[in-house]
Structure 1
Amino acid sequence: MVRGKVQLKRIENVTNRQVTFSKRKTGLLKKAYELSVLCDAEVAVIIFSQKGRLYDFSSSNMQKTIERYGEHVKVVQTNNPNEEQFTQQLEHEATIMSQKIKIIEAYQRKFLGQDLASCSVEELGEIGSQLEQSLRSVRARKELLFKEQIDQLKEKERLLLEENAKLHEKCAEKPWQLQPAKEKEVAMSSRSSLSSEMVETELFIGLPLMRCS
């Protein structure tokens, strides 16, 4: 059975969230260990649970790995002074996109007839106009599909009529005839009927006649 894709969002149920954290945390630490062994890489993982409990893994020394990471970040920032600005721009664009998604979701709910209490008369009129336009588009598409289906049925009817006409022509060229076995059966039935009519029967009424010896 194919496993369904898990939707990435916060698990609301506390018990399920704790169970998922335990399983995923164990799997992540295991993968980090395998990566360090298979690829001879320096790997460090730091995890803080929701309650503040620390879980970590380091293939060598955690403090040395953190110091090495800090030095690397400083070198990158020195060589690329615009990286932080680029990161801020990406975060700003992500915020704008998130706001647009919320607006679209709000309009979608209104089109479904939900959350209409906060709408003004003008907004309701605009929503009604858009729904009417959408309805016209749906009806036009529906009529087009019906027309295509009708054309297909007419073409199918034409082919069946042509095939029926060909079958009639074949029947006219070779009329139906009784099969030999059927003809023999009919002949035997006629002879039996004729012989039964020619049988003589003797019928005596009264006392039987006494025969002289």
Structure 2
Amino acid sequence: MGRGKVELKRIENPTNRQVTFSKRRNGLLKKAFELSVLCDAEVALIVFSPSGKAYQFSSHEITRTITRYKIELGIAKADDQGFTSMEVWRNEIEDLSRTIEALEARERNFAGENLSGLGMKELKQLERQLRVGVERIRSKKHKDLQEENTNLQKKLHELEEASTSSIILGSDSARLFQRIE
């Protein structure tokens, strides 16, 4: 059975308010983490408790995300701009380097190298991906062979027609030479 709709107003009881804050804060942090993982989003979350304590989650370096946010809004200081954009680019390069390393590791796995570090789930996924790849290759190969076969049959038919017409022309010219003599 589902919960009833919660009326959104300030909770007067301080104990209940603190418990609700803790539970909802944890849920919010969990959702931020899930969003960053599932959607590969850059997420930064800062929550201040009523007592002033700060809680944060960041999928990347939080200062980078805040700097990026400031640049997006155009509120980065003019003297900060060079350092800020350099920091953002440095972080972007680091992220791209990690992505390249991951893709190269995946490529080595596809080639059958470095499989010892993979678990059963990763091996099954790799096997499935290879199976799909092989089926695509076979399908493309079959299609190309059919096209080549069709083209060769057309050429054979054209050669047969040309051969037949040259035989007919050859016999007609031989008759002409016999009449002339």
Please report the TM-score for the alignment, with normalisation by the length of structure 1: 0.45
> Which has the bigger relative contact order, CA under 8 A and spacing at least 6?
2
1:82 alignment counterpart: 81
RMSD, aligned CA: 2.2
- How far 1:80 sits from its partner (Å)? 4.0
Matches within 5 A, 1:63-78: none
Counterparts of 2:131 and 2:143 in 1: how far apart (Å)? 18
Judged with a 3 Å threshold, the aligned counterparts in structure 2 of structure 1 residues 131 and 83 are, in CA distance, closer, same or farther, namely same
The one-letter code sitting in structure 1 at the alignment partner of 2:113 is: Q
Which runs of 5 or more residues in structure 2 are unaligned? 1-76
1:83 CA drift (Å): 1.3
Q: Report the counterpart of residue 112 of structure 2 in structure 1.
A: 113
Shift of 1:104: 0.6
Count of residue pairs brought into register by the alignment? 103
Structure 2: which amino acid aligns with 1:172?
A: S
- Which residue does the alignment assign to 2:53? none
How far apart, in 1, do the equivalents of 2:152 and 2:79 lie?
68
- In structure 1, the partner of 2:154 is 155
Give the 5 Å matches for 1:1-213.
Answer: 80-175=79-174
1:175 & 1:108 partners in 2: Cα distance? 69
For 1:167, give the aligned amino acid: S
Shift in Å, 1:105: 0.8
1:157 deviates by 0.6
Query: Residue deviations 1:43-93, cap 9 Å, x none?
Result: xxxxxxxxxxxxxxxxxxxxxxxxxxxxxxxxxxx9543111010000000
Cα 1:158–1:80 shift into 2, 3 Å: farther
Q: Give the % identical residues.
A: 21
Amino acid at match of 2:141: K
- What TM-score do you get using the length of structure 2 for normalisation? 0.52
For 1:83 and 1:171, how far apart are their aligned partners in 2?
86
CA distance in 2, matches of 1:134, 1:153: 28
* Structure with the bigger percentage of helix: 2
Cα distance in 2, alignment partners of residues 98 and 144 from structure 1: 38
Cα distance in 2 for partners of 1:79, 1:117 equals: 51
Q: 2:116, 2:78 → 1: CA distance?
A: 55
